[in-house]
Amino acid sequence: MSPLRKFAGLLGFFVFVGNAQADFEEDYETKQWQELEVQLPAAPRADGLRSFYVSAASDNQFLIDQATLSVGSDGVVRYVLVVLTPGGGRNVTFEGMRCATRERRIYASGRRDGMWSKSRNNEWSRIQDVYANRHHAALFLEYFCPGGVIVRDAAEAVDALRRGGHPDNKPW
Mean pLDDT, 10 residues at a time, over the chain (172 residues)? Answer: 56 54 59 90 95 90 97 97 96 97 96 94 90 87 94 97 89 56
Check residue 4 and give its pLDDT: 53
CB atoms within 10 A of CB 80: 26
What pLDDT sits at residue 121? 87
pLDDT of res. 169: 82
0.85 exceeded by pTM: no
Closest alpha carbon to 83 in 73, 68, 72, 93: 93
